[in-house]
A and B are shown apart, each in its own frame.
Chain A
Amino acid sequence: MSLSASAPTASGGFLPELAVDRSPATVAAAFLLAGFAAIWWLVDLRQATLLLIGGGFGVALYHGSFGFTGAWRRMVVERRGRGMRAQMLMVGVAAIAMMPLIAAGSLGSQPLVGAIAPVGVSVLVGAAIFGLGMQLGGGCGSGTLFTVGGGSTRMLVTLAFFIVGAVIGTAHLPWWLEQPSLPPIGLGTELGLPLAIAVTVAGLAAVALITAVIEKRPHGGLESEPAPRRPGWRWLLVGPWPLVGAGLALALLNIATLLVAGHPWSITYGFGLWGAKIAAAVGVPVETWTFWTWPAQAEALSNSVLADTVSVMDFGLILGAALAASLAGKFAPKAALPLASLVAAAAGGLLMGYGARLSFGCNIGALFSGIASGSLHGWLWFASAFVGSLVGVAARPLFGLDGFKRRQA
């Protein structure tokens, strides 16, 4: 099947005609629908709905190419901040809706809780490790999943080691939590809801402003959002989506996640759980590790993975991204994989998995959902991961990847 593009316009023209990858698209759509029905039957409607919400995340992430890793690298290497400004908009929109919901505590019979975690050494160190790892791995938590869904072989390696790192992180987290730390600090509780929202939005706006100032110096202006590059509304189906549009879709989906799951969007908890289940299956006594004796973790470990909200959403995200990639005619392209690049993928995955466990999540669970919940640890995570990301950009050339541009003599 092919979707033809019409004649180019005066505004710069449309993308060339594309051919949908029909078989992967059919399989991904079938798995989403069959998964929805099966999970509804085996677990409940809520879990099945979360699979579809995860699918929506996958489509939005893929069609928007909405990643933190590339956007942060582009900011520091090219001085282009369009991606980071879209991220700040996304978090701000979510925060305005989610903080009042979390402050209310429930909606109907559904309890609502935020991603609020302690502010301590574990977050500081873990986020820095994560930031370093995401530049080597080539994607953060969401980036790894949606590129795996899109058929990236390299990111399969990253994901595998991400899972290993997350399991190691669960073994060490209790020790890290004994290091100096402040208790969980929710801005809504500390400042009151109106001021907490105002402070959060002001902080996000300040970051966006800084990126604009940095961008204007070398470029003289801000990079504009390109117009849709497919005729009519076809771009909604086959992409690409504008960054701002994808960011707004992700914000709405995170709000939907809060309302349906009772907690904001999270990704990397599922990786640790999958790894622990695999380890247990081959005889590693993970159930005796302190982390897995905590009530919620023990409960998750001893239940079907389909009963875990985070895992089900991760499955949906991968399938949604696979569907989007297939519709865009870009599923699973073959690409050269130098050994050094694979080593970087493995190292990056390990670092991200370990760092995410120490810092209570990744760009999604800690930064996006944390800040949108009004948790101070989200801001610490952001700052620390950005510093780690700088180190990661500097280290990329060691693995044959692009890093900071060399200054012309």
Chain B
Amino acid sequence: MSEGRNTALFAAALALTTAAVTYDHVAWGVPEPAPAASSAPVARGASPCSAGTPVQSPCAAGAPLKAAPPPPAPMPQAKEGKLPPPPPPAPKPTAEAPRAAPPPPPARLPEGASEAPDLVPDRDP
């Protein structure tokens, strides 16, 4: 290292900053990561213009986020009498369709075999 340098001053500044960052991290911690499928606007590591903020919002650092867009206007009500008629109800069957034959009873397991828990039939009625 060359002579005539302020190295000690910057070493002290580095040590102080490291201590402050460590204290801050211990005091506050990091946010829980958002679920992958979630559309939550603020995820881990989020900053004013970071992940999840709506694209159309002002995103320069510190800029206030634009208010959420208003909900879509309700569909205009069609005038009475102009609605298409509802479909007619399905006609009732005049005769019962022949029922399918009941499935055969499950084959008996060989002696000593075990069944998956979900497939064990309840013993109680």
Q: B47 touching A156 by the CB < 8 A rule? A: no
Q: B65 touching A263 by the CB < 8 A rule? A: no
- Residue of A at shortest CB range from B21? A305
Q: How large is the interface on A (under 10, 10 to 19, 20 to 34, 35 or more residues)?
A: 35 or more
Contact with A along B2-44 (1 / 0, CB 8 A): 1011110111011000001100110011110100000001101
Q: B62 touching A170 by the CB < 8 A rule? A: yes
Also in contact, A118 and B63, with CB within 8 A (given A296-B53, A303-B29): yes
CB neighbours (8 Å) of A357 from chain B are: 62
> What separation, in Å, do the CA atoms of A334 and B3 have in the docked complex?
9
Also in contact, A269 and B44, with CB within 8 A (given A22-B1, A116-B58): no
> What separation, in Å, do the CA atoms of A27 and B15 have in the docked complex?
11
**Shortest beta-carbon distance from B8 to chain A in Å:** 9
> What separation, in Å, do the CA atoms of A307 and B42 have in the docked complex?
12
The number of residue pairs between A and B whose CB atoms lie closer than 8 Å in the complex comes to: 184
Please give the number of chain B residues whose Cβ is less than 8 angstroms from any Cβ of chain A in the complex.
45
CB neighbours (8 Å) of B62 from chain A are: 170, 173, 269, 272, 291, 297, 357, 360-361
Q: A151 touching B10 by the CB < 8 A rule? A: yes
CB neighbours (8 Å) of A105 from chain B are: 55
> What separation, in Å, do the CA atoms of A57 and B44 have in the docked complex?
23
**Shortest beta-carbon distance from B17 to chain A in Å:** 8
Q: A304 touching B24 by the CB < 8 A rule? A: yes
Q: A308 touching B45 by the CB < 8 A rule? A: yes
Also in contact, A266 and B24, with CB within 8 A (given A21-B5, A44-B44, A296-B42): no
Contact with B along A116-135 (1 / 0, CB 8 A): 11100000000000000000
User: Which B residues lie at the A interface, using CB under 8 A?
Assistant: 1-2, 4-7, 9-11, 13-14, 20-21, 24-25, 28-31, 33, 41-42, 44-66
Task: Supply 7 A–B pairs (Cβ within 8 Å), ascending by A.
Answer: A21-B2, A42-B25, A111-B51, A113-B57, A297-B62, A304-B25, A334-B6
User: Which A residues lie at the B interface, using CB under 8 A?
Assistant: 19, 21-24, 27, 31, 42-44, 46-47, 102, 105, 110-118, 151, 153, 156, 170, 173, 177, 183-184, 189, 261-264, 266, 268-269, 272, 277-278, 291, 294-297, 299-300, 302-310, 315, 322, 329, 331-334, 357, 360-361, 365-366, 369-370, 373, 375, 377
